């Protein structure tokens, strides 16, 4: 029996394939653009790209929208708010904020693979206000302090 968590998915365009794992070791599923016409993103420009998908993610999980490395390397297109978090109680359409960090305009077409979707447990914690925190060797050092 398959014990993986089940995620319900609703799609607006049955002609576009559902996201799927492209290899046995893949952590993410590719998300595709759902566009009525091609869209061009100028250098340093950004665009919100619809996917035509909505999810019902089980409680205790989240979905993360991450860049596709090949797209970033070849054209400079990447996900602006990476990783974007989709909460388990969100039921709206998944949209991807792409930014063009390249030096040339980039076209996005209907059906293009634009990002990847990774599911992960989402731990909820209880915060406890205190006056002091425990000591560590690192203390307040950050932003490269462990490499010196």
Model pLDDT, residue 140:
82
Place 54 in a pLDDT band, splitting at 50, 70 and 90: very high
User: Does 141 have pLDDT greater than 80?
Assistant: no
Q: What is the 3-state secondary structure (H, E, C) of the chain?
A: CCCCCCCEEEECCCCCCCCCECCCCCCCEEEECCCCCCEEECCCCEEEEECCEEEECCCCEEEEEECCHHHHHHHCEEECCCCEEECCCCCCCCEEEEEECCCCCEEECCCCEEEEEEEEECCCCCCCCCCCCCCCCCCCCCCCHHHC
Mean pLDDT (whole number) for 63-74 = 95
Domains in the chain (CATH in brackets) are 8-123 (2.70.40.10)
pTM for the model: 0.88
Write out pLDDT tens, residues 86-140.
999 999 999 999 999 999 999 999 999 999 999 999 999 999 999 999 998 888 8
């Amino acid at each position: 029996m398959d014990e993986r968590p089940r995620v319900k998915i609703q799609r607006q365009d049955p002609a576009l394939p559902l996201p799927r794992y492209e290899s046995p070791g893949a952590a993410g599923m590719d998300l595709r653009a759902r566009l009525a016409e091609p869209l061009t993103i100028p250098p340093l420009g950004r665009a919100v790209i619809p996917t035509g998908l909505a999810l019902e993610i089980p409680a205790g999980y989240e979905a993360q929208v991450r860049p596709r490395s090949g797209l970033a390397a070849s054209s400079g297109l990447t996900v602006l708010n990476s990783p974007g978090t989709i909460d388990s109680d969100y039921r709206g359409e998944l949209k991807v904020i792409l930014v063009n960090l390249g030096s040339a305009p980039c076209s996005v077409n209907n059906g293009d693979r634009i990002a990847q979707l990774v599911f992960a447990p989402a731990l909820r914690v209880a915060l406890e206000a205190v006056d002091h925190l425990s000591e560590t060797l690192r203390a307040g050092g950050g932003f490269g302090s462990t490499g010196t």
